[in-house]
Amino acid sequence: MSAPASSPTGSNPKIRRRQTKVVATLGPASGTIEVIRDLVAAGADVFRLNFSHGSHEEHRARFDMLRQVETETGRPIAVMADLQGPKLRISTFAEGAIDLVEGQTLRLDLSKEPGDTTRVGLPHPEIFAALQPNTDVLLDDGRVRLHVVSCAKDHAVTTVVSGRGLSNRKGVNVPDVVLPLSALTAKDRKDLAFALDLGVDWVALSFVQRPEDLIEARGLIGDRAGLLAKIEKPQAIDCLSAIIELADGVMVARGDLGVEMRPEDVPTLQKRIVREARQAGKPVIVATQMLESMVTNPAPTRAEASDVATAVFDGADAVMLSAETAAGAYPVAAVAIMDSIAQRVEHDPLYRQIIEAQRLPFGPETSSDAITHAAKQVAGALAAKAIITFTATGSTTLRVTRERPGVPVLCVTPDLIKTRKLMLAYGVLVIPSQLFRRFQDKVNSGVALARELGIATFGDTLVVTAGEGVPGSTNLLRIVTVGEASF
């Protein structure tokens, strides 16, 4: 068994002591270049710009700072634009809020008049078009549950199942029906155009319900960025395989998923989504409330530490911080602790056993899949220090990282813009390099880069993979001993 990938032989700051990536959200608490530098030093690999908050000018300033820090450190940084998606909310109340009694009647309608204890506006005709009697409507992140007694195209009569109070403009969730809504609002389209012009590496699509949502987004994005499907609607679970196939990556967005589904369902769904994304070779992030208490406290709860560890044991590509780094009092500490938890898990002997046991057949495997599986097996058998992949599209690297090897995966590429997004993938370090035509030159370059990074030294073994001929293929495998007179 090879040593964990998070144990590089050198101390180069470009190299992490873990495979699992850390995603940090930028916001008011982390909007200066000094804090961004500290976040990168603490272990952040990917940064999220949350377009539910902040202006375009603020996002541009943060993006520019990220690229400056990337230049300073020489470590590529992937940037994700997270689109807000359709936010459904009730209107206002004449008194700002009301008290509720379980069993009382509450009418939802399209009226613009301020609400009272008997009714409130719901300015979303598409909801009424989809509602059916005996379905539920959730308000205020599920704190209020309403049961639909009757409905029409402009109103619904409900009874209060649970909840004691309700105030202005609280969010609405309708878990039991597919809403006739695009995942892209007019605001999202403007934000998307702006983000693509900035040059983000990933676009996260919120409230995906069906494969058609991804097809629409793909038509606008093309190949300018990776498309990440946020799984936070029960309807998305019903067509999960089709959604994963159309996306470039997946996020287990446990916030809204936990509102619309029973809490006891979320852990098993998390494992299912991670497993299916891994099987498809798509990067998968576990997100939401991972270290939530660190918004106000300098240390997480034991339950939160266990939650992060579980995602790492599941083999997720990345774990994500939201409010902890965007608005919390301890953004750098939150990243450092998440980094520390991932390191500790990956150094546990049980971790590698679990990862190996989780490997599932990847469907109809190709010769490229066989090569990358062999690369992982050889790296383990020979205690190689790294697997070096040469790619212009990223496909070779993704095949290797899908195998969850126990060594770092160096992605050597002539096109950083297209492949920087691979910084989200498990164990991958993207390294810009000139374009080499001959495989021999690629091997020599890869060995030199591994030595320069401090990953390998004289006498160490490296495994090199690449594709020759057909773009996107992987058909070459070489075992190299560092310091050989010839390769």
Rounded distance between C-alpha atoms, residue 241 and residue 238, angstroms: 9
Assess if CATH 3.40.50.300 describes domain 21-86+183-348. Answer: no
Q: Write down the pLDDT at residue 359.
A: 76
What pLDDT shows up at residue 189? 97
Active site residue 478: no
Residue 484: is its pLDDT beyond 80?
no
Q: Does residue 288 carry a catalytic annotation?
A: yes
pLDDT in tens, 93-147: 999 999 999 999 999 999 999 999 999 999 999 999 999 999 999 999 899 999 9
Instruction: Name the active-site residue from 18, 21, 230, 404.
Output: 230
Active-site residue flag, 438: no
CB neighbour class for 340 (10 Å; exposed up to 12, middle 13-18, buried from 19): middle
Q: Which contiguous run of DSSP H or E holds residue 252? A: strand 249-253
DSSP assignments along 101-156, one per residue: -TT-EEEEES--SPB-SSEEE---HHHHHH--TT-EEEETTTTEEEEEEEEETTEE
Identify the architecture of domain 97-173 in CATH.
Beta Barrel (2.40)
One of 48, 233, 271, 282 is an active-site residue; which one? 48
Least confident of 16-25, 225-234, 426-435: 426-435
Average pLDDT across the chain, whole number:
92
Residue-wise pLDDT for 222-261, tens only, equals 999 999 999 999 999 999 999 999 999 999 999 888 888 8
pLDDT digits (tens, 9 = 90+) for 281-334: 999 999 999 999 999 999 999 999 999 999 999 999 999 999 999 999 999 999
3-state secondary structure of 250: strand
* Residue 486 binned pLDDT confidence (cut-offs 50, 70, 90): very low
Domain 367-481 CATH class label: alpha beta
* Identified catalytic residue from 158, 288, 325, 465: 288
Question: What is the rounded CA–CA span in Å between residue 467 and residue 442?
Answer: 11
Paired sense of beta strands 46-50 and 97-99, if any: unpaired
The tens digit of pLDDT for each residue in 380-418 reads 999 999 999 988 888 889 989 999 999 999 999 999 999
Between helix 349-358 and helix 302-313 the angle, nearest 10°, is: 50
Domain boundaries, the chain: 21-86+183-348, 97-173, 367-481
Residue 238: per-residue pLDDT: 92
Percent of the chain with pLDDT over 90: 81
**Given 17, 60, 89, 275, which residue is catalytic?**
89
CB 322 within 8 A of CB 230: no
User: By C-alpha distance, which of 419, 83, 417 is closest to 251?
Assistant: 83
